[in-house]
Amino acid sequence: MKNCQTFFIVAVATLFMVANNIFAQTFSGGTGTEADPYLISSKADLDVLADSVNTIPYWSSIKHFKVTNDITEPFQNRIGFFDYEVNNFIERTQYAFCGHFDGGGYRIMLDINMPDKNNVGLFGLTFIGGHAIKNVIVEGSVIGKEFVGGLIAEAHVGDSWKHLISCCYSYCDVTAVGTDGYSIAGGLIGSGSAIIVNCYATGNVSGVGDYVGGLIGWHGSKTGPIINSYATGNVSGNNFVGGLAGYTDIAIFNSYFTGNVNSAGDSVGAIAGYIRSDSNLIKNCYYINTNTKGNQYGTLISADELKSVDFSQVLNEGDVSGEWLGWLFGSDYDVVLAGPWEYDANNINQGYPITTCGFYTHITDHTFASHFTISPNPASADVVTNFSLLESGEITLEVCDIFGNVLISVTNFYDAGEHFVPLDLDGLASGSYICRLISKGKQIGIANFVIWK
């Protein structure tokens, strides 16, 4: 009997190692460590990740993943889910994503249609702590039964408060079709115990049941605040429906909402449908719709006021993020805190303030460039820009302040391929800046960076 047990253990261990090796070989590169993450460059890579997480218990634990380019072939699966077939909570999370994922600022197209399943999103279930998910951009459509989100359907942290979702953006329409009372749907996250920093969602979010939010449906206990974030889509549900959060029992700071909220219930509002703990924790938050039926969390202002040059500074004056992140992360919080609000000088957000990330790159026209980054960031002196051109041509590098004023402009001819171009920042004071990459009169890249002296 003992020999049989030994054989079984060895066989399972061997199978586990073989499975890991097979999956590792089918990514686009990397070994899964922090220094050498698995590289995700295609829908096929995402499918391998989903199959690994969804079939091998705890497979993604402590592994690192990084997206290396836009993934335009629609991903139709989900990464992680609750295993309701077992009673033990920990065992229920054995198929959760519990690694570290860096989206690199690239877009991932989604076409997920699972109306008969819970836990539906790019990540169906995450169960992690630390600096886990950042720089992910999703767009498309996500349809599920309950617990539905563009980025994450359900986020858990176990005994940790440090589940940080930073610089993640959802352009997805999210729909929860469950009919038994609960929808729990959000443009970014369906249900989450997470710190949400410098994130936004622009799609419409709808559910026939309760707990629906433009950013997050249920923002629950053992969690951290929402900071420097916004939502712009329309939100509809039965009850506990809000522009940013359907339900929350912790703080929302320096954020805004520009859509409309529709609800049949009484717990509805432009910022949050219901706040369990203390309404005073909603600080420096704004909305532009009247919400004739609903609570008064946040401040009603006009669209023109929200779009004004000075209003980004109003959002920045609510300086509470350092206090909260310092408490949650200690002295290291500055490495995860993203940049300040900026005035939308180029109308890339319909004139509304832009939430920025020091490490986030946004390419506005992928026809000419495949990436654009700045390092070091933050910088104390000069920086080096790194961009890859798909065709030769005249390129202009512009450095602007947050109001769009051009402070530095350098034009040169570059061949197709990758380039590392230094920029002399002499004379610029400490603060936040924007660097633009311009070709043929088009902005083909934009990156935000910070100077600290």
Length of the chain: 453
| Same structural domain, 181 and 268 | yes
Angle (deg, nearest 10), helices 2-26 and 43-55: 160
Per DSSP, 44 falls in state H
The answer to whether position 338 is within a domain reads: no
| Same structural domain, 97 and 143 | yes
**Does the pLDDT at position 282 exceed 80?**
yes
| Helix/strand/coil for 415 | coil
**pLDDT score recorded for residue 382:** 84
Q: Which two tokens stand for residue 60?
A: 């993604």
Rounded Cα distance between 139 and 451, Å, is 32
Q: How many domains is the chain built from?
A: 2
Per DSSP, 296 falls in state -
Q: Which two tokens stand for residue 109?
A: 């197209």
Q: Which residue has the tokens 């449906």?
A: 217
**Does the pLDDT at position 17 exceed 90?**
no
Q: Which two tokens stand for residue 80?
A: 């992680």
Q: What is the mean pLDDT of the chain?
A: 81
| Same structural domain, 199 and 282 | yes
Domain CATH for 282: 2.160.20
**pLDDT score recorded for residue 347:** 75
Q: Which residue has the tokens 């459509």?
A: 141
Close Cβ partners of 352 (under 8 Å, ≥ 6 residues apart): 230, 232, 256, 258, 306, 307, 344
**pLDDT score recorded for residue 363:** 44
The answer to whether position 22 is within a domain reads: no
| Same structural domain, 295 and 410 | no
Least Cα distance to 411 among 440, 388, 379, 384 occurs for 440
pLDDT, greater one: 229 or 162: 229
**pLDDT score recorded for residue 162:** 61
Least Cα distance to 185 among 121, 268, 97 occurs for 121
**pLDDT score recorded for residue 80:** 95
Number of separate helices (H) and strands (E) present in the chain: 6, 42
Q: Which two tokens stand for residue 312?
A: 């980004």
For 380-416, write each residue's pLDDT tens digit.
778 898 888 878 889 999 998 766 788 999 999 999 8
| Same structural domain, 319 and 369 | no
Specify which of 107-121, 352-366, 416-430 reaches the highest per-range mean pLDDT: 107-121
Cβ 131 vs Cβ 167: under 8 Å = no
Least Cα distance to 82 among 41, 30, 123 occurs for 123
- β-bridge partners, 406: 400
Structural domain including 115 reads 31-330
The answer to whether position 21 is within a domain reads: no
The answer to whether position 289 is within a domain reads: yes
Domain CATH for 408: 2.60.40.3080
